[in-house]
């Protein structure tokens, strides 16, 4: 079920996402202290990061060994980050002028998205209930999550929700195509998919992701949002390989989000106080 191998594995994709996010947030926190052109360059580069993080979130959902632990880990990190940002904001003379203070951080959105994926994906969530009750509870939970996105300010809002769900279904379709190609069953569907080449699957996969981004940009995006499409190239080059297994890399990945926010936020406050 893996795309053709290229030079970019999951570790490289994560590094690209983190670096582009860091550059974006440098522009965000120091908007009043840097040249306008530099600010826009930072924000343009930063548009690459969000689709990459959403893409990796979907990959993590489908290929994680323990979904419950994955959700708890992301949600815990969201809480820690929000708490640290709140503490630092107490010393900020701008107070509520930054959305990082007034909005819940994007990891809350990722946590909710993982729950949405779980509700869409699993058929036997509530095993002791009838099919009608299972469906009713799923709909109620999904509706509750939509209400949260509508009434509680979360970074990227329902745009992130819609794009995340689209990426989920695209990945699910890709997996279904590979399963039908490789299961050896001579059904009409299996026979149809057997004629689809590896290259065509990859091109169709990338095209579907691109169209999903364009849909979000056209309906809800800003001018800067068009630069989200730059993320297509690293996604196209992604091999599906995990990279080398090192314990310290996962620690760095999870610590990077709150750490870079706090360092940049404190630095921006110190500049204001001079």
46, two tokens: 């930063």
91: helix, coil or strand? coil
Whole-number pLDDT of residue 131: 76
SS3 content of the chain, % helix, strand, coil (to 5): 75, 0, 20
User: What is the Cα Rg of the chain in Å?
Assistant: 20
| Dihedral sign computed on CA atoms, order 43, 47, 53, 54 | positive
Whole-number pLDDT of residue 2: 47
Whole-number pLDDT of residue 187: 53
Per residue of the chain (274 residues), give pLDDT as tens: 444 455 788 889 999 999 999 999 999 999 888 899 999 999 999 999 999 999 999 999 998 889 999 999 999 999 999 999 999 998 888 766 788 888 999 999 999 999 999 999 887 777 777 777 778 888 999 999 999 998 999 988 888 899 999 999 999 988 887 776 666 554 555 555 555 667 778 888 999 999 999 999 998 777 889 999 999 999 999 987 876 766 677 788 889 999 999 999 999 998 877 6
Sequence-distant (≥ 6) Cβ neighbours of residue 173 within 8 angstroms: 208
Whole-number pLDDT of residue 262: 95
Q: Where are the domains of the chain?
A: 10-273
164, two tokens: 């995340």
Whole-number pLDDT of residue 121: 87
Phi-psi group of 209: left, alpha or beta (phi > 0 → left; psi -120 to 50 → alpha; rest → beta)? alpha
The DSSP call for residue 152 is S
């Amino acid at each position: 079920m893996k795309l053709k191998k290229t030079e970019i594995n999951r570790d490289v994709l994560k590094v690209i996402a983190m670096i582009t996010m860091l550059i974006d947030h440098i522009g965000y926190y120091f908007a009043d202290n840097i040249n306008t052109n530099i600010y826009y360059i930072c924000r343009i580069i930063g548009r690459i990061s969000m689709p990459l993080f959403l893409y990796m979130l979907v990959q993590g959902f489908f290929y994680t060994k323990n979904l419950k632990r994955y959700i708890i880990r992301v949600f815990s990190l969201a809480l820690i980050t929000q708490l640290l940002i709140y503490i630092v904001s107490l010393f900020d003379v701008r107070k509520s002028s930054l959305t990082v203070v007034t909005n819940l951080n994007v990891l809350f959105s990722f946590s909710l998205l993982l729950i949405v994926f779980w509700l869409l994906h699993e058929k036997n969530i509530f095993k002791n209930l009838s099919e009608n009750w299972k469906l009713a509870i799923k709909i109620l939970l999904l509706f509750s999550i939509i209400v949260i996105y509508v009434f509680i300010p979360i970074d990227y809002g329902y745009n992130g929700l819609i794009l995340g769900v689209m990426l989920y279904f695209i990945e699910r379709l890709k997996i279904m195509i590979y399963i039908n190609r490789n299961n050896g069953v001579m059904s009409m569907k299996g026979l149809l998919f057997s004629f689809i080449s590896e290259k065509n699957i990859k091109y169709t996969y990338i095209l579907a992701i691109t169209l999903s981004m364009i849909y979000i940009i056209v309906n809800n995006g800003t001018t800067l949002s068009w630069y989200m499409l730059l993320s297509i190239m690293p996604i196209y080059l992604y091999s599906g390989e995990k990279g080398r297994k090192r314990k310290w890399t996962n620690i760095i990945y999870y610590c990077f989000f709150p750490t870079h926010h706090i360092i940049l936020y404190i630095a921006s406050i110190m500049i204001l106080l001079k």
